[in-house]
Amino acid sequence: MIPVIIGLSLSPATARAEVKESSAAGFVIIHSAEVDAAPAEIWARLISPKDWWNKAHSWSGSSDGFYIDAQANGCFCELFQEKGADGKLKTVGSVEHMRVIFSQPGNVLRMQGALGPLQSEAVTGTFTAAMSPNKGKTGTRLSFSYVVGGYMRYNVDEIAPAVDKVLAEQFAGLIKPFKAVGAIEDKATNWSLDLDGLGIGEAKDQGDDKSVTDKMKKPDEKKIDAKDKVNDNKQKPAASPVKKER
């Protein structure tokens, strides 16, 4: 992996942004911040993208038709709307930006989809918005992460920073109403709510470097050996006598 680090000043709430990793296979983007708001407040704003998504990065030229149905298989979609002869808005088209695959209000929203120009490519994009109350402090830590992989006709070194810039604008729009608290860690790896633990319950112990597979309970080898011996000792049925032809 060839890391490409990009620092950005995003909003009144101090935030950290970076293209964490990139290679010919894809890239990883992370944005994180600490704000003086409860997870429930952030969640309510998160699932109302028309209030924070920049219309410059829409298909219709407006963010009024943006919505998220925050349940599994729900759509993060955009409606194309225009005024009819009667002056009322009517929907004349739509586009799916991403689809919800994991939703736990006030904690994690995970969606899959290829955003913007990536939609025409053979890539998978997994977006995670994660949040958790600060331990022993006020406010909430939150992050956006976007993991993209697959075949694309773009140069990754060019498209990754471009996608990072667009997500930075959306992250800034989301946290704009909230006041910053504390400081962000220098390394995004110090906080991984968007990874294995999904931010559920206690945060993952950073000192524990065992993989998920290593942590899985292994079968008791002694029991397996004993069982095998029992099976081996079982009397096999006698073979039928073979009749010789005269």
pLDDT tens digits, 63-93: 999 999 999 999 999 999 998 889 888 999 9
Number of other CB atoms surrounding residue 102 within 10 Å: 14
The beta-strand segments (E) located in the chain are 15-23, 26-35, 66-68, 75-83, 89-104, 108-112, 122-133, 140-151
Question: In 3D, which of 67, 212, 186, 203 has the Cα closest to residue 135?
Answer: 203
- Under DSSP, the state recorded for 134 is P
Edge-to-edge order in the sheet of strand 140-151: 15-23, 26-35, 140-151, 122-133, 108-112, 89-104, 75-83, 66-68
The structure tokens listed for 82 are 């225009």
Fill in the amino acid letter for 25.
Answer: A
Q: Which CATH number fits domain 15-54+96-226: 3.40.640.10, 3.40.50.2000, 3.30.530.20, 3.90.1010.10?
A: 3.30.530.20
Using CA atoms, how far apart are residues 3 and 164, in angstroms rounded to an integer? 13
pLDDT in tens, 55-64: 999 999 999 9
Using CA atoms, how far apart are residues 35 and 13, in angstroms rounded to an integer? 6
Using CA atoms, how far apart are residues 85 and 66, in angstroms rounded to an integer? 23
pLDDT of residue 241: 53
What's this model's pTM, rounded to 2 decimal places?
0.69
Q: Is 158 helix (H, G, I), strand (E, B) or coil?
A: helix
pLDDT of residue 79: 95
pLDDT of residue 31: 93
pLDDT of residue 30: 93
Instruction: Report, as ranges of residue numbers, the positions in the chain whose pLDDT lies below 70.
Output: 1-18, 20, 182-246
Backbone angles phi, psi at 17, to 5 degrees: -140, 145
pLDDT of residue 23: 84
H or E segment to which residue 143 belongs: strand 140-151
Instruction: Please enumerate in sequence order all residues whose Cβ is within 8 A of that of 55, keeping only pairs 6 or more positions apart, or say none.
Output: 61, 62, 63
Scanning 130-242, the segments in alpha helix (DSSP H) are 156-175, 212-215, 221-233
pLDDT of residue 235: 53
Instruction: Please enumerate in sequence order all residues whose Cβ is within 8 A of that of 127, keeping only pairs 6 or more positions apart, or say none.
Output: 98, 110, 111, 112, 113, 115, 144, 145, 146
Using CA atoms, how far apart are residues 68 and 193, in angstroms rounded to an integer? 21
Question: In 3D, which of 182, 198, 84 has the Cα closest to residue 141?
Answer: 182
pLDDT of residue 16: 55
pLDDT of residue 240: 53
pLDDT of residue 237: 54
CA distances to 3, 58, 119 from 176, in Å: 28, 19, 28
pLDDT in tens, 165-178: 999 999 999 999 99
Q: Is 64 helix (H, G, I), strand (E, B) or coil?
A: coil
